[in-house]
A and B are shown apart, each in its own frame.
Chain A
Amino acid sequence: MHQGKTLNFHKLSTAIPSAALAATNERLKALRQLTSEGAKIGRDISRLAADLRKVAAPQQEPFIFTSDLETNERLLRSILRDCEDVIYRTLALKGGRALLVYVHGMTDEAGLAKFVIQPLLECSVTIPEPGADIESYIQQHIYAAGIQFIEQPSSIIGEMMGGRTLLLFDGHARVALIGTTQFAKRNVGDSKTEGVVRGPHEAFNETLIDNIALLRRRVRDPNLKIKILNVGDRSGTRAALAYVSNLVKPGLLEEVEKRIAAVSTDIVLTSFKIEELISKHPWSPFPQAEVAERPDTLLNALYGGRVGIMVDGTPLALVVPATFLSMMQATDDYTTQPLGGMLIRMIRYLSSFLAVYLPALYISVVSFHPGMLPTTLAISIAELRSRTPFPSILEAFGMIIILEIFQEAIIRLPQRMVTAASVVGGFVIGTTVVEAGLINPLLVVVVAMTAIASYTASFDFAVGFRVVRIFTLLAASVLGLYGTLLALLFTTVHLCALRSFGESVLGGLFDITLLEDWKDGIVRVPLKLNRTRPKVYGPQDRTRAGDDGG
């Protein structure tokens, strides 16, 4: 606008005081100082590095412990620089000094004081001379339960970071690791993902040791083996392989170990990462390892000859090989009467079928083959549909997307908001959208049915089902019932090709070499009649009763 010329222009600094020249200069100065400090730090670091380099160390180790306590402390401090939660406690003992190093918060400090510091301080025996046997001195004078001596400095530091305490003596290069671990953790609680009515309620928590204990507490079988591995180059997460040595299928354990060893990643925070990295078909929408959140589920699997993988930090153990049938089973099948259990299980299969194919069938029938409907039904559907403007395929996609948004929102929302969200959602979708004539009520029924049906299947499969549902719906929208069938065939072939540790994900479903497994497959016969383990997992001993303890 030309009138703008008459306006007064103000200096920028009056509008934004922080833009004033003086302030800018000040900040520039600060910046310079920072740069010079940075350079100083750089020099410090290189000096430190030079320090470290001076110490003779084998390859892949940062250093080795010397017999000089001062040096040792300096080395540790330089490695653990800026780790301010590491505590160094120097003890003045008879005949020299000792150093305790531990991580604050990971260590039971009261226990440390009582069982380590107190006996040492009260000890009247002199510390052995440099070169003499320090180990027996420690064994004699420390009350704490777990004491360990390790050679490699890197593992020593790793252990210390995991909650143990280092004990060093002046004049000795030998380092004692004292088991005083104690940290904040969740108690053993109810299962979050595998609900059960009549079975045990205990579920794993995030602590590997607790989880192993939960297993052990249920089975006093020395054949139940636990093998601990470290995965994750940086996190050094501990993973435990659990198996029953005289049942597990020959070769399976080695294969699992091999694949876990081949996992190359920096950190492992969830067990799913392991599952994904050891599975051979990463593009498949279906899970290739079963998830067990409860010790009884896991033990059941182990005593079927399978291998469990427990990862520290995740309350979900993995079970391989996994089959569709095993994932469709639930504890409740076995805690109700066989007939009832069978019914429940059949319903689960039926609903997983509906979850995948119902929308596609609806589309095929309504927009491709209405002749398959009886005329009266066809008329009433047509009258419902005649009020809605969209083609049914768009309607279906719309509804499915709304449904997915809902599910996602409800999972993410804080607990208090969920009710609000579901009221809004249920009301909006259930009534208003239908009443406004945007979506026909029948489709709402179909999609709701689909959603509910997919909740009954195991969660891992449910996610796969969603993918297949969309895929099938697309096929149905092109070729109707024929397209649905092609998609079904495609999925079938994919499922047959999908192998989880040698076993097809479909398991014993209609494989005549595995026909004997029918007793605990789609149906579930009373236990009296089913005394064998499923053949699919190739257990060494197939009879359930009368195991030779060997």
Chain B
Amino acid sequence: MMDRLRKLLCAFLLLVFVLPLAGCWDRRELQERNLVLAIALDLADEGLKPGQSQETVKAETFVQPTGSKRYRLSLQILKYEAKGAGSKGGGGQGARKTFVLSNTGESLFEMVRDMLGQSSRALYFEHMQVVIISEAVLRQTNLAPILDFFFRDAEMRSRIRVYATPGQARPLLEFKPPTGEPGGIYLNNIARNHVKNAHIGTARTDLGHIIQALDNDADVIMPRIDIQDEVVKIRGLAVFRRDRFGGYLDEYAVQGIRFVRGTERGAIITAPCPVHPGEILALELVKHETKLTPHVAGDDIYFTLDINMTGNLSEVHGAQPNTYDYKNKDALEQAFAQEVLANVSYAVRQSQTVGCDTLYFGSKLKAHEPETWKRVKERWDEIYPAISLYTSVNVRIRNIGVHR
């Protein structure tokens, strides 16, 4: 009996030891993978490497049985050597930490697989940070088909940032961040500053949220990123009607939208000084509560918005108003409230002009007034631009900083 047991055990142990040697199907060491940090999508005849000749362009592509050479896909890939050497101070700090590969074609997946012909190691997308799509591409096609690859692929994270850029997307991948971080990580991290910067519309606009919006038939918004010389900046939003590119909203509108959606945490509100006209004051928000409610009166649909804000007075230009006196403080609070009001209505106006429901009026209506929604759902595109919003703003100044 024991013999048998022993034999079984031996067989089992043998199996256990042999398995790792035989190569497990999905095992591939980290350093044997090429980490893709960012993807840029341009039109096929754009997004060339500076000084790239037509021959190399040909080398970069493949023969396509179906479809056309529509897009150019560029991948930003992490270089390991640069990083390892850098930490030892052995030079290479100034060197780029990434390199870019590109390819043309129509199916993103096909291009990616063909690029394995340019890469020494397998491409690995699980650490991807950023997708940048050029405006030209967006104008040509809808968003859903472009992003389909990212929705479908299991390697993608849903916290990937998606940016639209008015120029070409590839230069952004070639951009060398001043902080020394790898480019894709830098581009992703910029978006995290939305906490402090109300001009960045990156709250709830990552890949996961875009998918969600597309699934719900809602309008998509995505942050816009610009590059000019050595300056890279996120500013404003690209807005879509459903998934059709509709244009851009500027930073001021973004700030207004964020006031309505209540997604900002540390906005700066500037207002003209009530005491000294022509000068400006700045308020730093610390607390913010927003309530957007739909109302239906007969056929008329309107929204009310209550905003409660608490902030610290953080900059005063011109002569000092006496901030200790709360009569003056009331005037300042009023001025800021006025400004928020103006900002919100600007944002609403802009969004309605573009026709993008950036404020989620539709989903609010659906949630709170389902019956009305059912009625107007079909005509929503027509109704939306005409909907009015009544805003009441209450601003309180809590601190005035360490100087009056």
Binding site for B on A (CB under 8 A): 15-18, 387, 437
Contacting pair A15 B87 (CB below 8 A): no
The residue from A15, A18, A387 contacting B4, defined by CB atoms under 8 A apart: A15
Chain A nearest CB from B393 CB (Å) reads 31
Chain A residues with Cβ below 8 Å from B4 are 15
Chain A residues with Cβ below 8 Å from B87 are 387, 437
Contact pattern, B 97-119, Cβ under 8 Å of A = 1, otherwise 0: 00000000000000000000000
For the complex, what is the distance from the CA of A16 to the CA of B87, rounded to whole Å? Answer: 63
Q: Is B1 an interface residue (CB 8 A)?
A: yes
Chain B residues with Cβ below 8 Å from A387 are 87
Contact pattern, B 1-24, Cβ under 8 Å of A = 1, otherwise 0: 100100000000000000000000
A-B contact pairs, 7 of them (CB 8 A): A15-B1, A15-B4, A16-B1, A17-B1, A18-B1, A387-B87, A437-B87
Which 7 A-B residue pairs are closest in the complex by CB-CB distance? A16-B1, A387-B87, A15-B1, A17-B1, A15-B4, A437-B87, A18-B1
Chain B residues with Cβ below 8 Å from A437 are 87
User: Closest A-chain residue to B87, C-beta based?
Assistant: A387
User: Closest A-chain residue to B84, C-beta based?
Assistant: A437
Chain A residues with Cβ below 8 Å from B1 are 15-18
Chain B residues with Cβ below 8 Å from A18 are 1
Chain B nearest CB from A361 CB (Å) reads 25
User: Closest B-chain residue to A17, C-beta based?
Assistant: B1
For the complex, what is the distance from the CA of A437 to the CA of B1, rounded to whole Å? Answer: 53
For the complex, what is the distance from the CA of A413 to the CA of B1, rounded to whole Å? Answer: 38
For the complex, what is the distance from the CA of A50 to the CA of B1, rounded to whole Å? Answer: 52
For the complex, what is the distance from the CA of A17 to the CA of B1, rounded to whole Å? Answer: 7
Q: How many A-B residue pairs have CB under 8 A?
A: 7
User: Closest A-chain residue to B1, C-beta based?
Assistant: A16
For the complex, what is the distance from the CA of A149 to the CA of B1, rounded to whole Å? Answer: 65
Chain B nearest CB from A389 CB (Å) reads 12
Chain A nearest CB from B177 CB (Å) reads 13
Chain B residues with Cβ below 8 Å from A16 are 1
For the complex, what is the distance from the CA of A190 to the CA of B394, rounded to whole Å? Answer: 76
Chain A nearest CB from B166 CB (Å) reads 33
Chain A nearest CB from B376 CB (Å) reads 47
Chain A nearest CB from B82 CB (Å) reads 14
User: Closest A-chain residue to B86, C-beta based?
Assistant: A387
For the complex, what is the distance from the CA of A480 to the CA of B87, rounded to whole Å? Answer: 30
Chain B residues with Cβ below 8 Å from A15 are 1, 4
For the complex, what is the distance from the CA of A455 to the CA of B87, rounded to whole Å? Answer: 35
Chain B residues with Cβ below 8 Å from A17 are 1
User: Closest A-chain residue to B83, C-beta based?
Assistant: A387
For the complex, what is the distance from the CA of A16 to the CA of B1, rounded to whole Å? Answer: 5
For the complex, what is the distance from the CA of A25 to the CA of B1, rounded to whole Å? Answer: 20
User: Closest B-chain residue to A387, C-beta based?
Assistant: B87
User: Closest A-chain residue to B179, C-beta based?
Assistant: A386
Contact pattern, B 69-92, Cβ under 8 Å of A = 1, otherwise 0: 000000000000000000100000
For the complex, what is the distance from the CA of A17 to the CA of B2, rounded to whole Å? Answer: 10
Chain B nearest CB from A525 CB (Å) reads 46
Chain A nearest CB from B32 CB (Å) reads 19
Chain B nearest CB from A386 CB (Å) reads 9
Chain A nearest CB from B78 CB (Å) reads 15
For the complex, what is the distance from the CA of A17 to the CA of B87, rounded to whole Å? Answer: 66
Chain A nearest CB from B31 CB (Å) reads 14
For the complex, what is the distance from the CA of A17 to the CA of B4, rounded to whole Å? Answer: 12
User: Closest B-chain residue to A19, C-beta based?
Assistant: B1
Chain B nearest CB from A440 CB (Å) reads 12
For the complex, what is the distance from the CA of A15 to the CA of B87, rounded to whole Å? Answer: 63
Chain A nearest CB from B52 CB (Å) reads 34
For the complex, what is the distance from the CA of A129 to the CA of B196, rounded to whole Å? Answer: 106
Chain B nearest CB from A537 CB (Å) reads 50
For the complex, what is the distance from the CA of A260 to the CA of B4, rounded to whole Å? Answer: 62
User: Closest B-chain residue to A16, C-beta based?
Assistant: B1
Chain B nearest CB from A11 CB (Å) reads 12
For the complex, what is the distance from the CA of A18 to the CA of B2, rounded to whole Å? Answer: 12
User: Closest B-chain residue to A437, C-beta based?
Assistant: B87
User: Closest B-chain residue to A18, C-beta based?
Assistant: B1
Chain A nearest CB from B318 CB (Å) reads 29
Chain A nearest CB from B348 CB (Å) reads 39
For the complex, what is the distance from the CA of A437 to the CA of B87, rounded to whole Å? Answer: 10
User: Closest A-chain residue to B2, C-beta based?
Assistant: A16
Chain A nearest CB from B157 CB (Å) reads 17
Chain B nearest CB from A437 CB (Å) reads 7
For the complex, what is the distance from the CA of A15 to the CA of B4, rounded to whole Å? Answer: 8
For the complex, what is the distance from the CA of A437 to the CA of B151, rounded to whole Å? Answer: 34
For the complex, what is the distance from the CA of A537 to the CA of B175, rounded to whole Å? Answer: 74
Chain B nearest CB from A497 CB (Å) reads 36
For the complex, what is the distance from the CA of A15 to the CA of B8, rounded to whole Å? Answer: 13
Chain A nearest CB from B179 CB (Å) reads 9
User: Closest B-chain residue to A14, C-beta based?
Assistant: B1
For the complex, what is the distance from the CA of A387 to the CA of B88, rounded to whole Å? Answer: 11
For the complex, what is the distance from the CA of A99 to the CA of B127, rounded to whole Å? Answer: 88
Chain B nearest CB from A380 CB (Å) reads 13
Chain B nearest CB from A250 CB (Å) reads 58
For the complex, what is the distance from the CA of A16 to the CA of B2, rounded to whole Å? Answer: 9
For the complex, what is the distance from the CA of A479 to the CA of B397, rounded to whole Å? Answer: 24
For the complex, what is the distance from the CA of A416 to the CA of B4, rounded to whole Å? Answer: 39
User: Closest B-chain residue to A13, C-beta based?
Assistant: B1
For the complex, what is the distance from the CA of A23 to the CA of B4, rounded to whole Å? Answer: 21
For the complex, what is the distance from the CA of A208 to the CA of B87, rounded to whole Å? Answer: 63
User: Closest A-chain residue to B180, C-beta based?
Assistant: A386
Chain B nearest CB from A181 CB (Å) reads 52
For the complex, what is the distance from the CA of A123 to the CA of B1, rounded to whole Å? Answer: 70
Chain A nearest CB from B5 CB (Å) reads 9
For the complex, what is the distance from the CA of A437 to the CA of B84, rounded to whole Å? Answer: 11
Within B348-371, the residues touching A (CB, 8 Å) are: none
Chain A nearest CB from B182 CB (Å) reads 13
For the complex, what is the distance from the CA of A387 to the CA of B86, rounded to whole Å? Answer: 10
For the complex, what is the distance from the CA of A214 to the CA of B1, rounded to whole Å? Answer: 63
Within B4-54, the residues touching A (CB, 8 Å) are: 4
User: Closest B-chain residue to A383, C-beta based?
Assistant: B87
For the complex, what is the distance from the CA of A279 to the CA of B263, rounded to whole Å? Answer: 54
User: Closest A-chain residue to B181, C-beta based?
Assistant: A386
Chain A nearest CB from B178 CB (Å) reads 14
Chain A nearest CB from B309 CB (Å) reads 24
User: Closest B-chain residue to A15, C-beta based?
Assistant: B1
Contact pattern, B 160-193, Cβ under 8 Å of A = 1, otherwise 0: 0000000000000000000000000000000000
Chain A nearest CB from B213 CB (Å) reads 31
For the complex, what is the distance from the CA of A18 to the CA of B1, rounded to whole Å? Answer: 10
Chain B nearest CB from A49 CB (Å) reads 47
Within B301-357, the residues touching A (CB, 8 Å) are: none
Chain B nearest CB from A320 CB (Å) reads 52
Chain A nearest CB from B30 CB (Å) reads 13
For the complex, what is the distance from the CA of A59 to the CA of B4, rounded to whole Å? Answer: 64
Chain A nearest CB from B19 CB (Å) reads 20
Chain B nearest CB from A338 CB (Å) reads 49
